[in-house]
Amino acid sequence: MPLTKAEIARLRSLQDKKHREDLGLFVVEGGKVVTELLSAHYPFAELYATDGWPSAVRTTGLAPQLITAEEMGRISHYPTPSNVVAVGRIARRELAPPALDRGLTLALDGIQDPGNVGTLLRIADWFALDRVVLSPDCADLFSSKVISASMGSFARVEVFTAELADALATCTAPVLGCDLRGEDVHALEPLRDAVIVIGNEGRGLTPAVAARVTRRITIPRFGGAESLNAAVAAAIVCDNLRRSG
Amino acid sequence: MPLTKAEIARLRSLQDKKHREDLGLFVVEGGKVVTELLSAHYPFAELYATDGWPSAVRTTGLAPQLITAEEMGRISHYPTPSNVVAVGRIARRELAPPALDRGLTLALDGIQDPGNVGTLLRIADWFALDRVVLSPDCADLFSSKVISASMGSFARVEVFTAELADALATCTAPVLGCDLRGEDVHALEPLRDAVIVIGNEGRGLTPAVAARVTRRITIPRFGGAESLNAAVAAAIVCDNLRRSG
């Protein structure tokens, strides 16, 4: 059955954060990302595919609604449409305060680049952190760029949204922040419980979050670069935490 | 003196790799990147600024040619023009084969994303590697995206272009490649001389380069992600190499 004009308009509108929030839905497009998320058993609500989508993949999870290439061209967010589009329900989890006391948490303070947020989810997944917390001004978790950059980790990592300074105020676990003058990351002892806070790409941590850092950690520098990017710094801290753990 | 039409057309044309190669020139735009490179004493050939560019910065290096905001709008590569544009001379260094035998080299095999190449230059700079070698199919070193993402490291890191498989054929230093089944990166002994090869974002190392790897290195994985991104993997290997060094 062909898609109605209203269905096409609805699917197209999901590129916009405002419409996503209004409808409580998000969209991802492309065989790679959709397959990654279906393989991770992500519970999509709707799936649209053209004949070109490999049938071997179709058998996983939800049965796709077959649409024509012309319809795909109309719902696609890209100049070159792919052959599959999936729609999921937005569910943002609020953080209950004691949650940060146990396990390893990556807390992102205003990371604005969707590619960086996705890469940080992938790092949290690789190192099996217990959760990621996004401040409300991070790139939107449900944007297609964040989800694509996470390479499937979007489906595997527990993500919460919270005002970080509030969430950290009562946290009993050590709060690690990267700093040029702190403890050597190579000397970190095993930590079963910790929060790693990572600041915005340009301005670093907000003062309210920086005030909650209980241990300042330094990645030793040998050359001339002033800083490392957010995802790289997070990964090095995680590798050292897991090494000593 | 106002810019001529020909000068404006020439400056605009430098967004294109083909025109950059024809003219042997590249362009960077924006106060942040231009200031970073001037601070690192990068020898620009031309500098254009509007009155809005802070005079405190102007005194560093080359004196800028003052242009109007309208002229800046015409030479700018961005929808919102900045207040400074700098032009440099393209100089690609060919690698003489014994060069890889000594010191630490980061070799990039087909890294296509300009942001990743820039981030990798920044990592090489942070860890004071001796050089970076780009395969000919990497993102263009002289594209404004690579230079911006390098955060000034473009001016500090020695970069060469070479066919990697050929360059590695006669290399006497160990050639480290990331692999899911190799030696634990945490057990790396000190290495004064080494080449770290990093593969393309999607396909990894080309077979000819993979055949030159003499030590396969594994970053221990704890969770579900299938891989780490190229820059993150490179940074973790560098941190471990420098730790043991």
B chain contacts of residue A114, beta-carbon cutoff 8 Å = none
Q: Same domain for B42 and B13?
A: yes
SS3 B86: strand
| Residue A61 pLDDT > 70 | no
Q: What is the structure's pLDDT at A29?
A: 94
Q: What is the structure's pLDDT at A234?
A: 98
Q: Do B228 and A235 touch (CB under 8 A)?
A: yes
Nearest to A221 among B126, B220, B225 (CB): B126
- Which of the listed residues B89, B115, B138 is the one where a domain comes to its end? B89
Q: What phi and psi, each to the nearest 5 degrees, are found at residue B101? A: -70, -25
Q: Same domain for B82 and B114?
A: no
Q: What is the structure's pLDDT at B53?
A: 84
Among candidate residues A59, A73, A78, the one with its CA nearest the CA of residue A15: A78
What distance in Å separates residue A24's CA from the closest CA in chain B?
Answer: 27
Nearest to B235 among A220, A224, A232 (CB): A232
Q: What is the structure's pLDDT at A59?
A: 55
Q: What is the structure's pLDDT at B128?
A: 97
Helix (H) / strand (E) containing B12: helix B5-13
| Residue B136 pLDDT > 90 | yes
What lies within 8 Å, CB to CB, of A206 at 6+ separation is A109, A110, A135, A164, A165, A199, A200
Nearest to A219 among B128, B221, B239 (CB): B239
Residue B74 and residue B89: Cα distance in Å, rounded?
A: 21
Q: What is the dihedral of CA A228, A230, A236, A240, to 10 degrees?
A: 130
- Which of the listed residues A71, A89, A107 is the one where a domain comes to its end? A89
Greater confidence (B25 vs A54) lies with B25
pLDDT tens for B1-59 read 789 999 999 999 998 999 999 999 999 999 999 999 998 889 999 999 998 887 656 55
- CATH number at B10 reads 3.30.1330.30
Greater confidence (A121 vs A60) lies with A121
A chain contacts of residue B222, beta-carbon cutoff 8 Å = 126-128, 242
What distance in Å separates residue B177's CA from the closest CA in chain A?
Answer: 18
Q: Same domain for B195 and B132?
A: yes
Residue of A nearest to B149 (CA): A229
What distance in Å separates residue B5's CA from the closest CA in chain A?
Answer: 33
**A31 and A60 Cβ atoms separated by less than 8 Å:** no
Domain with B180 in it: 93-244
Q: Do A225 and B125 touch (CB under 8 A)?
A: yes
Mean pLDDT across the stretch B110-133? Answer: 97
Q: What is the structure's pLDDT at A56?
A: 56
Residue B124 and residue A221: Cα distance in Å, rounded?
A: 11
Nearest to A239 among B123, B126, B219 (CB): B219
Residue of B nearest to A187 (CA): B243
pLDDT tens for B195-242 read 999 999 889 999 999 999 999 999 999 999 999 999 999 999 999 999
In order, the DSSP letters of chain B are -PPPHHHHHHHHHTTSHHHHHHHTEEEEESHHHHHHHHHTT---SEEEE-TTS-HHHHTSSSPPEE--HHHHHHH-SSSS--SEEEEEE--PEEPPGGGGGSSEEEEEES---HHHHHHHHHHHHHTT-SEEEE-TTSPPTTSHHHHHHTTTGGGTS-EEE--HHHHHHT--S-EEEEEEEEEEGGGPPP-SSEEEEEEBTTTBS-HHHHTT-SEEEE----SS-S---HHHHHHHHHHHHHHH-
Q: Do A225 and B115 touch (CB under 8 A)?
A: no
Q: Same domain for B116 and B236?
A: yes
Q: Same domain for B177 and B111?
A: yes
Greater confidence (B9 vs A61) lies with B9
Nearest to B223 among A119, A127, A223 (CB): A127
Mean pLDDT across the stretch A40-50? Answer: 92
| Residue A245 pLDDT > 90 | no
Residue of B nearest to A122 (CA): B225
Q: Same domain for B72 and B98?
A: no
Q: Do B229 and A231 touch (CB under 8 A)?
A: yes
Q: Same domain for B109 and B71?
A: no
Among candidate residues A182, A181, A214, A175, the one with its CA nearest the CA of residue A198: A175
What distance in Å separates residue A20's CA from the closest CA in chain B?
Answer: 27
What distance in Å separates residue B6's CA from the closest CA in chain A?
Answer: 33
Q: Do B228 and A151 touch (CB under 8 A)?
A: no
Structure tokens of B229?
């991104």
What distance in Å separates residue A113's CA from the closest CA in chain B?
Answer: 12
B chain contacts of residue A122, beta-carbon cutoff 8 Å = 225, 228-229
Q: What is the structure's pLDDT at B62?
A: 78
- CATH number at B182 reads 3.40.1280.10
Q: Same domain for A130 and A196?
A: yes
Q: Same domain for A127 and A221?
A: yes
Q: Same domain for B144 and B60?
A: no
> Mutate which of B132, B229, B244 to disrupt the A interface (most A C-beta within 10 Å)?
B229
B chain contacts of residue A127, beta-carbon cutoff 8 Å = 221-223
Residue of B nearest to A152 (CA): B225
Q: Do B225 and A129 touch (CB under 8 A)?
A: no
Q: Do B231 and A232 touch (CB under 8 A)?
A: yes
B chain contacts of residue A220, beta-carbon cutoff 8 Å = 242-243
> Mutate which of A232, A236, A241 to disrupt the B interface (most B C-beta within 10 Å)?
A232
Mean pLDDT across the stretch A178-202? Answer: 93
What distance in Å separates residue B89's CA from the closest CA in chain A?
Answer: 22
One-letter amino acid at A178 equals C
Q: What is the structure's pLDDT at B78?
A: 86
- Which of the listed residues A89, A119, A152 is the one where a domain comes to its end? A89
Q: Same domain for B97 and B77?
A: no
A229: left (phi over 0), alpha (psi -120 to 50) or beta: beta
Mean pLDDT across the stretch A34-48? Answer: 91
**Domain tally, chain B:** 2
Q: What is the structure's pLDDT at A57?
A: 59
Q: Same domain for B38 and B99?
A: no
Structure tokens of A184?
């050597």
Structure tokens of B197?
């090869």
Confidence of residue A60 (pLDDT cuts 50, 70, 90): low
Q: What is the structure's pLDDT at B182?
A: 94
Mean pLDDT across the stretch A26-53? Answer: 91
pLDDT tens for B58-117 read 555 678 899 999 999 999 988 888 999 999 999 988 888 788 999 999 999 999 999 999
Mean pLDDT across the stretch A58-84? Answer: 86
